[in-house]
Amino acid sequence: MNTHNKKEPILQLEGICKSFPGVQALKGVDFSLWAGEVRGLVGGNGAGKSTLMNVLGGVINPDVGKIIINGQTVTIDNPAVAEQLGVSFIHQELSLFENMDIATNIFIQHLPQHKGVINYKKLYEESKKILDIVGLSHRKPSQAVSSLSMGERQLVEIARCLSQKTKILVLDEPTSSLTSPEIQILFKLMRDLKEQDVSIVFISHRFDEVYEICDNITIMRDGTNIATKPIADIEKMEVVRLMIGRELSEMYDHERVEPGKDLLEVKNLTRKNAFSNISFKLRAGEVIGLYGLLGSGRTELVRSIFGLDPFDNGEVYVEGKKVQIHKPGDAIKNGIALITEDRRGEGLVIDQSVQSNLVLANLSRFSKKGIIMDAKKEQLIGKENINRFKIATSNLKKTVGFLSGGNQQKVVIAKWINTKPSILILDEPTRGIDVGAKKEIYKITDELLKEGVGVFLISSELPELLGMCDRIIVIKNGREVAEFGSDEITNEKILYAAMGVN
């Protein structure tokens, strides 16, 4: 970094703040970037990396803060402005038009044209040049993007950036869908761009890659910039420590319950391209944690156990008996409940009332003979749920979409408790909700454990796992890589296992 000290930074973000309902995602972040630098940006899920870069890309407007590019204070209120200022952004989820050809995708924003008629000859010639640069010379510019592999599509995205006068390139987890030869092409490209004084922000969970390609590293945690250092001056272990930071707070006053009978046993569960040979046993009163980075197969695993997706191999036992679960209804009958990570997408019927949502997973219980809904039973359970889970709503008829995120989540949890499950699977139960609601959700979980429920908890938040779990299973690329008992769990051990750091 010393070599840059004479110059002004190309980009300065000053005091950027951004709140979403229930969470403050960015708490006054300062961030500067120098010309021709590759900067690694690391941090746990929810640390604010993507939010910060979305502010730079004009996708999210900050509440407070200043953006200075080349010494000029600028307002970036939409992606087009970012583009004009030379900021290109490659997102985790690709944004290509799959139905169109490669060349059109590369030049979509400035197609070569004459009086509105596209000059295809020039389009394909220019595209060919760029494809050679990004290592896609074996592909024709006229080929449809849908025929490319995920990795190749990523390279087309980069080609699109190259067709513009990019000064700052943001790559959000670009390697997660690439094969290693493709990664090497990407890295070579990044080095070439660096030569041309382009600055690159490289967001990644993969430390090996960060150490291979980056000059400097910025570590974020809880919406703040914790440290920025030259990569040569900081050990991987130190980075991990900075990422985790906080000590276990008193948020988790989880009392361990003596485990009872076996509730759920999974043997060698395998689903191609998602997870393989996963085995574990969950007992009454026990919490098993499942940790894995994005794309590790953790969500896929529980979806298969719950019957939402099929699996190829393996067996599932409930209370010692082998069960066949082909659809969620089968899982519910066997006393399994799944609180999915996508609250709005899969948890709630957002335009309908709190009441209807609360009874949705077990309609027959609140009906007369499974045919006619029983309004009295419904109201009774509704009131009980509101009291027990402290759901803040003016009444049961209120549309559930009008509640806060934390209260919506409580409705989802209550809905599943109303199925009287013995096995509760929680997938990211506290994502995007405020501290108070979090605490209450932990309290509810504790109560259920005392009643003899077994809990399988998936979370990206290490403190949550450490505070709540009796055992933690770590998976990476769909395989179990480590298991820790409560006495041996530490933040570092889990992260090292999940990231493959030795």
- In the complex, the residues that contact other proteins under the rule CB under 8 A are 306, 308, 327-329, 331-332, 338, 340, 342, 345-352, 356, 359-364, 367, 370-373, 375, 399, 401-402, 415
Shortest CB 355 distance to other proteins, Å: 11
The Cα–Cα gap between 309 and 318 comes to: 18
Shortest CB 435 distance to other proteins, Å: 24
SS3 502: coil
The Cα–Cα gap between 213 and 202 comes to: 9
SS3 116: coil
* Residue nearer to other proteins on the CB measure, 340 or 459: 340
Instruction: Please state, in angstroms and as integers, the Cα–Cα distance from residue 145 to each residue in 178, 424, 489, following that order.
Output: 16, 41, 45
The Cα–Cα gap between 451 and 446 comes to: 9
From the centroid of its chain, how far is CA 485?
Answer: 26
* Residue nearer to other proteins on the CB measure, 263 or 360: 360
* Residue nearer to other proteins on the CB measure, 173 or 427: 427
Shortest CB 263 distance to other proteins, Å: 19
Shortest CB 373 distance to other proteins, Å: 6
* Residue nearer to other proteins on the CB measure, 327 or 420: 327
Query: What does the block give as tokens for 219?
Result: 């570590």
* Residue nearer to other proteins on the CB measure, 56 or 359: 359
Shortest CB 372 distance to other proteins, Å: 5
Shortest CB 267 distance to other proteins, Å: 24
Nearest C-alpha neighbor of 437 from the set 400, 390, 395:
390
Q: Which residue has the tokens 């990422």?
A: 243
Shortest CB 298 distance to other proteins, Å: 17
* Residue nearer to other proteins on the CB measure, 216 or 340: 340
* Residue nearer to other proteins on the CB measure, 139 or 415: 415
Shortest CB 296 distance to other proteins, Å: 21
H helical segments located in 260-306: 298-305
* Residue nearer to other proteins on the CB measure, 67 or 411: 411
Shortest CB 95 distance to other proteins, Å: 21
Shortest CB 334 distance to other proteins, Å: 11
- Beta bridge partner(s), residue 265: 281, 317
The residues near 85 (Cβ < 8 Å, ≥ 6 apart) are 69, 74, 76, 167
Q: Which residue has the tokens 């890295």?
A: 187
* Residue nearer to other proteins on the CB measure, 144 or 350: 350
The Cα–Cα gap between 424 and 338 comes to: 6
Instruction: Please state, in angstroms and as integers, the Cα–Cα distance from residue 54 to each residue in 83, 162, 370, following that order.
Output: 13, 20, 49
- Beta bridge partner(s), residue 476: 479
Shortest CB 42 distance to other proteins, Å: 33
* Residue nearer to other proteins on the CB measure, 270 or 399: 399
Q: Which residue has the tokens 């530490």?
A: 490
The Cα–Cα gap between 305 and 316 comes to: 7
Question: Nearest 5 degrees, angle CA 180-CA 185-CA 187?
Answer: 90
Shortest CB 351 distance to other proteins, Å: 6
Question: Nearest 5 degrees, angle CA 190-CA 195-CA 197?
Answer: 95
| Residue type at 28 in one-letter notation | G
Nearest C-alpha neighbor of 378 from the set 397, 400, 353, 359:
359
* Residue nearer to other proteins on the CB measure, 36 or 328: 328
User: By the 8 A CB rule, do 414 and 339 touch?
Assistant: no
* Residue nearer to other proteins on the CB measure, 204 or 418: 418
From the centroid of its chain, how far is CA 472?
Answer: 19
The Cα–Cα gap between 149 and 330 comes to: 36
SS3 381: helix
The Cα–Cα gap between 182 and 191 comes to: 14
